[in-house]
Chain A
Amino acid sequence: MSTTVSRDDTGGGLPPEGDVRRRPSVKTVVAWVLVAVVGAVAWTVLALVRGETVSALWILFAALCSYAIGYRFYSKFIARRVLQVDDRRATPAERMHNGVDFDVTDRRVLFGHHFAAIAGAGPLVGPVLAAQMGYLPGTIWIIVGVIFAGAVQDMTVLFFSMRRNGKSLGQMVREEIGIVGGIAALIAVFAIMIIILAVLALIVVNALAESPWGVFSIALTIPIALFMGVYLRTLRPGRVLEATAIGVVLLLLAVIGGGWVDDTGLGEALTLSKEWLVLALVVYGFVASVLPVWLLLTPRDYLSTFMKVGVIVLLAIGLLLARPVLQADAVTDFAREGTGPVFAGSLFPFVFITIACGALSGFHALISSGTTPKMVAKESQVRLIGYGGMLMESFVAISALIAAVVIDQGLYFAMNSPAGATGGTAETAAAYVNGLGFDTTAQDIAAASAAVQEPSLVSRTGGAPTLAVGIANILSDAFGAGMAAFWYHFAIMFEALFILTAVDAGTRVGRFMLQDTIGNVWKKFGDLSWRPGNIIASAITVGLWGYILYVGVTDPLGGVNQLFPLFGISNQLLAAIALTLVTVLLIKHGKLKYAWVPGIPLAWDLVVTMTASFQKVFSSDPAVGYFAQRQRYADAQAAGELLAPAQDAGQMDQVIFNSTLNGVLQAVFAVLTLVVVGNAVFVIARAIRARGPVPTTEEPAVTSEIVEPAGLFATAEEKRAIAEHERLVGAGRPSEGGVA
């Protein structure tokens, strides 16, 4: 580990090349004024116009214009002034090139890899659940959050990790903040990963339970992936595009085939209860974690990535063609009163934790400090990859939000309220939803189920089925009716596919973390090729998330209702750790005056997550506070009573136990984050007293030999620079390395 003060900080360096301010052309000014005007009009319409006829496209335009302005101005400011990216410095991909993990990668290709790694089911599910508060709170948080918090976190963590040879978040916290914070961060990362895997798996279980069509098509993705794996390993090694094309065709056939199976005897056999699905997922997760990656994980990853991008593009086109009208209110009564059935709690803080991915997601910090920083070709590209990649994910979240707020709101609440509330049948659900103040009838709910050929849509919580209904509606409107059932199951299949990919990959990463950590005290266990170690570590990881999954699935109060807040809060507590690290590093590098860039989102994130954690632990409202809920059921049990929705003494015990478990987990995550932040405060105070840059673990600058464009499209200037460079290299100029 080398300790050095970087060139930027000593003030000895020249301003980065190409940093000459030029007067923008009239055309550019007009174009940006136009973007700003369209954006402003869209926001005004969303904020002021009420009634039946507000088009959902306004949300799309507000988002796209805001993203464009955020990217063009704010991310540029961060790159040039705050981080001072320097393209004369070689990146780790160039310096440590080994063709395996350190590898100079084309910026557009790396953008795709990074996006595929960060975007999953999170941005699809959170906004759907948050739609119970209306379309406006979610829209504002997704767009403002990504511009000032999420994309900033992804970009700055990527930059600082890149300057440290791609060190992981935990490693950086340990080295730059301290050993106490480092250990707390390590435990937090592992624990949060377990929660995330459990909640993702819970969403799949809820989407597939009692749905033979869904089970059939998802189950077939396994043999399809295995076939692709064997194809790529032995039949035609390396022909990935060929194998993926075959895989996608088989996948579509599997979705179509599910429709036929539905009506046969096989449909009966594939109607699985939630408990059976938990068992299947746990066994699958374990096997996937110990199998070689080429057999299952890699081919499944190709499939899920292509499906992901394909569906997002399809949905965007569908939205433009169908031009749906907003059905939800701008802000519902649930936002003010906090009594919503989907998740409990008021708008503040709960909208901001329900929508994590898409606005601010701490998990991304693990990817921005993992594989991506080792592949960046030029420092200036962190803007496109880090900030731009997160804007893309935010766009996915906005699309999901639109899909949820353009469906009939009576149906929305019938689908997303827990079974304990709706009673599980179309009649009882209609009565319940009418009680909430939304129009619907049992016939409407039954007709909606029949249209997508599902036995029932009542209490299909978790967000995935709702999103699938939304997508099915939009795509049927756009491309012709009669295909709703296909689109619904297609959407379910694609969500489940990449949740399973996340579960595979997450279990494997969890296993590596466990082996690495235990390997510190027991050398043999850290050896990744030692079979018993692999099996034990996989079993522990799968056992942990499988257990929480089981707890969630059998929870009488509804697993999503109970666990999703825990998932959202923990994801954003991880973001707090990442933003703390970035703030500390800026101050250590002598850039106190820019500490507000990560500092403001950090302060906001801490206020949100700590308020939410506090309420979940200490609130006296049993619908919000885990321990108040525990107390309520314990009191009832002591008095020999049964409290709905529990139906017997066993379920009473279950509620009491689950509430305690969730409350303890919640408290532990918050305390771990506070330990990191507390440790950071000392480091910051020391750095401020030092009045100037203090040593960090940044690698010394080495002159770069590569010339590459910074943005998505090469500018004329960059093209000239590349041509010039090639001419010089071609002329046999000796390559010179060395410290600048």
Chain B
Amino acid sequence: MSGREAATRAWRGVRWYLREFTGEARWDDYLRHCAEHGHEPVSRREFERRRSDALERNPVSRCC
């Protein structure tokens, strides 16, 4: 693997991790899910709104 390829791979890995970590990738998962099951996806705005409303009921605890 050349240095350039390694760098590209590392960058992809970091980007994948950050998108998964922040939940940004959930939109892609949702689109894929809709495509597989033949649903009409809602708009991104609507999707993110539902996601943050779900967070409202499931508080994430933060420790000391």
Contact = CB atoms under 8 A, between A and B. Distances in A.
Interface of A: 100-101, 106, 108-109, 112-113, 117-122, 196, 199-200, 232-234, 237-241, 244, 292-294, 298, 301-302, 356-357, 361, 363-364, 366-367, 370-371, 498, 501-502, 504-506, 508-509, 512, 528, 567, 571
A120 B63 contact: yes
In which size bucket is the chain B interface? 20 to 34
B52 to A, nearest CB: 4
Contact of B60 (A119, A241, A301, A357): A301
Interface in B13-64: 17-24, 27, 44-45, 47-49, 52, 54-64
Contacts of B54: 100-101
Given A109-B21, A113-B21, A302-B22, A363 B52 contact: no
Nearest to A103: B26
B59 A509 contact: yes
A370 B24 contact: no
Contact of A117 (B17, B27, B45, B63): B63
Nearest to A295: B52
Interface of B: 17-24, 27, 44-45, 47-49, 52, 54-64
B22 A505 contact: no
A363 B22 contact: no
A200 B60 contact: no
Contacts of B57: 528
A298 B55 contact: yes
B58 A100 contact: yes
Given A293-B52, A298-B52, A298-B55, A241 B24 contact: yes
A528 B53 CA distance: 12
B21 A112 contact: yes
A196 B64 contact: yes
Contact of A361 (B20, B21, B58, B64): B64
Contacts of B58: 100-101, 371
If over half of A's interface residues share one DSSP class (helix, strand or loop), that class is named, otherwise mixed; here it is helix
Given A106-B20, A122-B64, A233-B48, 6 more contacts: A112-B21, A238-B27, A294-B52, A363-B64, A371-B58, A505-B60
B17 A109 contact: yes
If over half of B's interface residues share one DSSP class (helix, strand or loop), that class is named, otherwise mixed; here it is helix
A502 B21 contact: no
A193 to B, nearest CB: 9
A237 B61 contact: no
A240 B24 contact: yes
Nearest to B30: A99
Given A237-B44, A238-B44, A241-B19, A501 B62 contact: yes
Contact of B62 (A120, A356, A357, A571): A120
Given A232-B48, A237-B45, A363 B63 contact: yes
A119 B59 contact: no
A293 B56 CA distance: 6
Contacts of B59: 293, 505, 508-509, 512
A240 B56 contact: no
Contacts of B44: 237-238
A121 B63 CA distance: 8
A505 B45 contact: no
Contacts of B63: 117-120, 122, 357, 361, 363-364, 366-367, 502
Contact of B48 (A237, A366, A528): A237
A505 B62 contact: yes
B47 A238 contact: yes
Nearest to A236: B44
A509 B61 contact: yes
A367 B59 CA distance: 11
Contacts of B21: 109, 112-113
A2 B14 CA distance: 42
11 contacts: A119-B63, A122-B64, A196-B64, A237-B44, A240-B22, A294-B55, A366-B61, A367-B63, A502-B62, A504-B62, A509-B61
B18 A241 contact: yes
B49 to A, nearest CB: 7
A117 B62 contact: yes
Contacts of A241: 18-19, 22, 24
A239 B44 CA distance: 10
B55 A244 contact: no
Contacts of B27: 238
A740 to B, nearest CB: 28
A200 B64 contact: yes
Interface core residue of A112, A113, A238 (most chain B CB under 10 Å): A238
Contacts of A370: 61
A512 B61 CA distance: 11
B60 to A, nearest CB: 6
Contacts of A508: 59
B32 to A, nearest CB: 13
A204 B49 CA distance: 33
A120 B60 contact: no
A223 B33 CA distance: 36
Contacts of B52: 232-233, 292-294, 298
A424 to B, nearest CB: 28
A508 B19 CA distance: 26
Contacts of B55: 293-294, 298
A196 B64 CA distance: 7
A364 B61 CA distance: 10
The 3 nearest A-B residue pairs measured at CB: A122-B64, A240-B22, A237-B48
B64 A371 contact: no
A96 to B, nearest CB: 14
B36 to A, nearest CB: 14
Nearest to B20: A109
Given A241-B18, A293-B52, A357 B47 contact: no
